[in-house]
Amino acid sequence: MTTDLPEQALELRSLVTSQGTLEISLHDVPVQSPAANEVVVRVEASPINPSDLGVLIAGADMSTATVAGTPEHPVVTARLPEGALAGLSARVDTSLPVGNEAAGTIVAAGSSSAAQALLSKTVGIAGGGMYTQYRAVDASACLV
């Protein structure tokens, strides 16, 4: 059913803080085993679309960006323009995964025949949270 999946993977996240800053950072997240009709994709490519940029940088002034953290877990911080928090109120202080689409190889599959048929295939997927190393998705979301 599953190959040797790592316990954790890196995921890019975007956080708008109530102090009026944007934080873009890498987080360790658990790699989930697939449910019956799911597959786990090892993400190998992901485009940066305008819709991704809206979530990723949230209109922040990237000329103010600074980098902190560690080489393994960097944190990029930038200021948001005056008054921007009002338009971003639904996501303030909530860390969001980023990336709408990706392509990669199916490295684990659930027990359903649809999921098993995708094992080892290269697929394209759209489902959000794709700026990550591994992503579990429903088999029906995959385009071989």
User: Which residues lie below 8 Å from residue 31, measured CB to CB, with a gap of 6+?
Assistant: 5, 6, 7, 8, 9, 40, 133, 134, 136
pTM: 0.91
pLDDT at 59: 94
Closest CA relative to residue 1, chosen from 29, 43, 42, 40? 40
- What amino acid is encoded at 116 in this protein? Q
Mean pLDDT over each residue of the chain, to the nearest integer = 96
Residue 15 host element (H or E) = strand 8-16
Calculate what percentage of the chain has a pLDDT beyond 90: 96
Residue 52 host element (H or E) = helix 50-57
